[in-house]
């Protein structure tokens, strides 16, 4: 069964391994017949700062409106990004700060409950790092919670899959990178 997949490259640099992985995923998904839309964070034109919190909603730039449309359109949302200082890049966080607004991603129904407006969609987070994932987890805990639970789950996404590839910069052979690319290509074919 064909799925509608929205790919977000959350690394601002197109010369990154994340870009290569997003390409591999897209190639796998399109080869099998999935419908794909993609946005590259580095191409988007927007102010990443939520200047007044939710007190004053800033007008969304065209790229942010397109991002929201793609999120609503998709069955599956996949985000590729590097772990910088054990979190997502600031520009990626700014994208969610500006677009994950009340009335779009969620709506509070009382002081303690909310409507999760984006239910019915699955998500995958593909995270690259120069640190060994188990070492990062031991030292810093689960560094995926900000995006996984605080953003995606809060808005209704589920299931949410996390794939981490670590120890990439200094200890990654060409053969290992090719294995990672093949794994991500196959992930695209399965729309996971």
Q: Which of 51, 155, 56 is nearest to 94 (CA)?
A: 51
**Residue 171: pLDDT over 80:** no
Q: Among 7-16, 102-111, 179-188, whose mean pLDDT is lowest?
A: 102-111
pLDDT for 73 equals: 98
Residue 170 has a pLDDT of 64
Residue 173: which domain range?
A: 4-190
Per residue in 160-170, pLDDT (tens digit) is: 999 999 877 76
DSSP, res 87: B
For residues 106 and 123, give the distance between their C-alpha atoms in angstroms, rounded to a whole number.
17
Indicate whether this model's pTM tops 0.85: yes
Is the pLDDT reported for residue 22 higher than 70?
Answer: yes
CB atoms within 10 A of CB 57: 13
Closest CA to 103 of 50, 159, 155: 155
Q: What is the CATH number of the domain that holds 102?
A: 3.40.50.360
- Mean pLDDT of all residues in 9-24: 95
Question: What total of structural domains would you count in the chain?
Answer: 1
Of 1, 5, 34, 21, nearest to 129 (Cα)?
A: 21
Chain segment 96-155, per-residue pLDDT in tens: 999 999 999 998 888 888 999 999 999 999 999 888 777 777 888 888 889 999 999 999
Q: CA-to-CA distance for 167 and 169, rounded, in angstroms?
A: 6
* CB-neighbour burial class of residue 71 (10 A; exposed 0-12, middle 13-18, buried 19+): buried
- In whole angstroms, what separates CA 70 from the centre of its chain? 12
């Amino acid at each position: 069964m064909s799925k509608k997949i929205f790919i977000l490259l959350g690394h601002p640099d197109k010369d990154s391994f994340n870009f290569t992985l997003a390409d591999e995923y897209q190639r796998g998904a399109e080869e099998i017949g999935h419908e794909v839309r993609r946005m590259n964070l580095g191409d988007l034109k927007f102010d990443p700062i939520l200047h007044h919190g939710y007190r004053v909603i800033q007008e969304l730039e065209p790229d942010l409106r397109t991002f929201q449309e793609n999120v609503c359109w998709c069955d599956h949302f996949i985000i590729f990004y590097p772990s910088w200082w054990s979190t997502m890049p600031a520009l990626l966080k700014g994208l969610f700060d500006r677009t994950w607004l009340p009335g779009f991603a969620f709506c509070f129904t009382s002081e303690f409950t909310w409507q999760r407006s984006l239910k019915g969609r699955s998500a995958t987070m593909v995270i690259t790092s120069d640190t060994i994932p188990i070492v990062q987890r031991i030292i810093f805990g689960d560094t995926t919670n900000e995006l996984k639970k605080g953003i995606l789950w809060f808005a209704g996404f589920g299931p949410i899959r996390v794939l981490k590839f670590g120890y990439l910069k200094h200890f990654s052979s060409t053969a290992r990178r090719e294995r990672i690319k093949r794994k991500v290509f196959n992930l695209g074919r399965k729309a996971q």
